[in-house]
Chain A
Amino acid sequence: MAAEDVSVKVRDVSVRVHRAGRGPTVLFLHGAGGYAQWLPFFDTLADGYELLVPEHPGYGLSDDPPFIRNVPDMAMFYLDFIETLGLDRIHLIGHSLGGWIAAEMLIRDRARCASLTLLAPAGIRVEGVPTGDLFIWAPDETARNLFHNQRFAEIMLALQPSEAQMDIILKNRFTTTKLGWQPRLFNPDLEKWLHRIKLPSLIVWGAQDKVIPAAYAAKWQDRLPDPRLLMLDECGHIPQIEKADAVAREVRDFLKGARS
């Protein structure tokens, strides 16, 4: 399925959105690496849903407004985004940093959302279980630590980014630094409000995640109201790539239930 690329304006900020499919809205919020390409996972989701994959402000081809200084700002912006686009009954999916943004949105206002799916989300801390350090790892180290199956790391490392892609990689790194350097990829004020996310929720984690260890899943499970959990063996930090079929199957099954 071919995704359509559009730019939308929200509060004078131009946001690049990749879009496919028809049906109830699924809003996918990407992780710290940004939007690299349209994934097979997206195709599966877009069958029967209208899937929107925006590039966050400060990432990719979207604008980088100075007023977004942290993840709560980003969450407020996305509440403006869904209101401006007139979206409703949204199934929100967030991966890693995107999962953090999704949670920050929903503790503030969940009125336009129908469900939450978190794929290895950042945003909270489990004391004594440090996360991996994306900011100190060298690029090859990052690639290896993102995946359990090193075949995926090899593919990533073999890519030769163009000049324009280099610019985007740097832009993404700058924004991730702004949002997540300190405290390291979490907000100490988020966890205590997670009970407010009174929506059907699904948590997906790779058991061998080296960026945010799987031990974090238990805490999310404890704080969210009655979530489903899918723990995937032989899987690292990007389950929608490394276990694309299993994740797509689970998410579609979950969304079907969440609609009823």
Chain B
Amino acid sequence: MKLISFHLMPYRPLDFEEAAKHRSAWVVLPNTLYDPVKGAEEYAAYIDFLVDCERLGFDGISVNEHHQNAYGLMPAPNLIASALIQRTKSIKIAVLGRALPIVGNPIFIAEEYAMLDNLSKGRIICGFVRGIGAEYHSTGINPYFSHERFHEAHDLIVKAWTQPGPFSFDGQHFNLRYVNLWPRPYQTPHPPIWIPSQGSSETVVWAAHPDRKYPFLVTFSSSELVARYLNAYRDQARKFGYEPEAGQFGWACPLYVADTDERAKAEAGRAIETLFNNYLRMPMEMLIPPGYTSQSSMKNFMKLRTAVGGRVTDADYLIGSGTAVIGSPKTVRAKIEEMRDKTGLGILLPMFQFGILSDELARRSIEMFASEVMPHLRG
């Protein structure tokens, strides 16, 4: 199993009491609550943490993109990736991902990924996402056209990476007379493309298509839903007439290891609650603006309100539902193996730092994971 250490880079010094006076920690949370002196220390600590994953034996380290929020301080994840390239030797660096629909010209994404791929001599993995609903408030991009823009941007980027330039691109949203990428990507035909998702059926069908076979990563969902979505991908691949490989199945989850289940929960419980209740809290109008999902998905969502960030939750629920994997090495290993048995999982993306979790605890947890869990997941 491939192991990719994933980071969101939350702003931990957030004044929760003050933040609670606002609609969300996204979009409208006043940026006067951000202290650059403290924020700079956060970046330094998080980058050190990711760099250290190479020594610990991980296959990859991963960052992602979110805008105008305290939940993740990486509006430009490629900047972090670039720093990581300079401080590591051989580990893969996964940007999971760039939000394609919210840029004015996707060529910039193609160019930056190609640059990173050259700078790292082929260590880059590219994630393509649509961003979460709040990003459409932050950027002004119309969510009604989110899917259209995603597919068009994807086609443009892959074409720019693989077709000799210059060529012209005629789209509905993007029209370019000259597409001619300098530099071209280092990897041939292009860096791997992975698709992080919350499991929408349209994305499953699209990612599993034989032309793409993109690894499908289910993020931040209960273990029941993760298994359901990954198996939906397998079923879809079989419908397309092929058997997918383990490397097409990924699972991203907050993960914490300590000596015992009790100690793990005592140390990480509050932090995991802050991730969902404080950092990810947002009203429906922000989470799923019209068009971000189909009308029928939106209606189901309004009825159920089961998605993350939709309601207050607690550590017991998050651990019990398998949304967060928190426990002793034995427990954590068992949960991962159970998921592998149920789904054929081939990529695990544990997020060792989450919410307000301190550097010290995150480091202790990842060390223990590397020494006591990782060996069992190899081979």
Contact = CB atoms under 8 A, between A and B. Distances in A.
B24 to A, nearest CB: 10
Contacts of B283: 138
A174 interface: yes
A33 to B, nearest CB: 13
Given A178-B142, A181-B143, A182-B140, A170 B290 contact: yes
A178 B299 contact: no
Given A178-B142, A178-B144, A182-B140, A136 B286 contact: yes
Given A136-B137, A138-B285, A173-B290, A181 B144 contact: yes
Contact of A177 (B140, B291, B299): B291
Given A167-B299, A170-B295, A170-B299, A136 B144 contact: no
Nearest to A180: B142
Interface string A159-184: 00000001100110110111001110
19 contacts: A135-B137, A138-B283, A138-B284, A170-B290, A174-B291, A176-B290, A177-B142, A177-B144, A177-B290, A177-B291, A178-B142, A178-B145, A181-B136, A181-B140, A181-B142, A181-B143, A182-B141, A182-B142, A183-B140
A137 B27 CA distance: 13
> How large, as a class, is the contact surface on chain B?
20 to 34
A247 B225 CA distance: 54
Nearest to B139: A182
Interface in B241-297: 283-286, 289-291, 295
Interface string B155-185: 0000000000000000000000000000000
Interface in B120-145: 136-137, 140-145
Contacts of B141: 182
A176 B285 CA distance: 14
Contact of B291 (A167, A178, A183): A178
Contacts of B119: none
B23 interface: yes
Nearest to A171: B295
Range of interface residues on A (Cβ < 8 Å): 10 to 19
B46 to A, nearest CB: 30
A229 to B, nearest CB: 32
Nearest to B27: A136
Contacts of A174: 144, 290-291, 295
Interface in B18-55: 23, 27-28
A173 B302 CA distance: 14
B218 to A, nearest CB: 26
Contacts of B136: 181
A166 B303 CA distance: 11
Contacts of B143: 177, 181
A30 B290 CA distance: 20
B291 A137 contact: no
A174 to B, nearest CB: 4
B298 interface: yes
Nearest to A137: B285
A61 to B, nearest CB: 15
A181 B146 CA distance: 12
A182 B144 CA distance: 10
Query: 3 tightest A-B contacts by CB?
Result: A177-B290, A178-B144, A181-B142
A140 to B, nearest CB: 11
Nearest to A170: B295
A182 B145 CA distance: 11
Contact of A136 (B140, B142, B285, B295): B285
Contacts of B298: 170
Contacts of A167: 295, 299
Interface in A99-142: 135-138
B23 to A, nearest CB: 7
Contacts of A182: 140-142
B172 to A, nearest CB: 9
A177 B142 CA distance: 7
Contacts of B144: 174, 177-178, 181
A177 B295 contact: no
A183 B142 CA distance: 9
A128 B27 CA distance: 19
Contacts of B27: 136
Contacts of A136: 23, 27-28, 137, 285-286
Given A174-B290, A178-B291, A135 B142 contact: no
Contacts of B285: 135-138
Contacts of B286: 136
> Which residue of B141, B144, B295 has the most chain A CB atoms within 10 A of its CB atom?
B144
Contacts of A181: 136, 140, 142-144, 289
